[in-house]
Amino acid sequence: MLTEEARRRGAEQLVRAERERKAIPQLSKTFPNIEIADAYRIQDLWAEAKIAAGVGVAGHKIGLTSRAMQMASKMTEPDYGRIFDNAIYNDGAQIPAASFLKPRLEVELAFIMGEDLEGPGKRIYDVMRATELVVPALEIIDYRTEVPRAITDTIADNAAFGAIVVGGRSIRPMDVDIRWVGATLSKNGIIEESGVSAAIMGHPAAGIAWLVNKLHAVGAKLTKGQIVLAGSFTRPVDIAARDVIHADYGPLGAIGVSFL
């Protein structure tokens, strides 16, 4: 377990890495005795610094929702981070690749909360009742630390959040069986990945129910209007300047962005 001073130093290093666009050594190497609770506290401190600078929190993201990714990270559950309001793009955006250190792209669904939702003991049907809209989304993940990374590095680094792109067709949560939303992800005209949303813990709302219960343990909740990224149902695809991305969600429309 780290001291609060060590946690603050870790957060300051991540703030500097993001500002200077230069990866820092893994916090798990800088602080060998770091634990998961320390990592979430470092994430909190980093978020507090951004909020103090005028950036708002628009919602949350969930990561490590597939069993394969959990095993790779030696975790038995997902992790979570914040979505910041200065990192939300719309369909058709031209995104500066230089805004990130090592960006990669994932295919997801975003839940827009229609009411507050607070744990404990919340389940998939509670999430579905509290959700106003579900919309196709892409998450740009980014690393502010060197690799390979321990799970504590990922959590402290805001669960690798870089930005979110929203688009496609907004639907009410009961309009379709959202377990079977499928998508293909193309880069420069070539399909790189495809998947179906049931890969997210069996149901994309399952991770959000998990998140609500985890937030309750730290005195927090989801609030009306927040965006929640449910987790990726494809593997991440590397992106760079001049890449053109097209994600096709079939009946739910598509998202297209380019990187400058």
The structure tokens 């998450």 sit at 139
pLDDT at 47 over 60: yes
Taking residues 155-173, report their average pLDDT. Answer: 96
Domains of the chain by residue range: 57-259
> What stretch of H or E contains 142?
none
pLDDT at 87 over 80: yes
- What pLDDT does 101 receive? 96
d(Cα 79, Cα 76) in Å, to the nearest integer?
A: 10
Q: Average pLDDT of the chain? A: 95
In CATH, the number for domain 57-259 is: 3.90.850.10
pLDDT at 26 over 70: yes
- What pLDDT does 2 receive? 97
- Facing residues of 39 across strands? none
Split at pLDDT 50, 70, 90, the class of 73 is low
Structure tokens given for 141: 């993940």
- DSSP-derived pairing of the beta strands 79-84 and 182-187: unpaired
The structure tokens 């003991």 sit at 121
Could you tell me which of 178, 143, 141, 196 has the C-alpha nearest to residue 163? 141
The structure tokens 């038995």 sit at 76
d(Cα 67, Cα 76) in Å, to the nearest integer?
A: 8
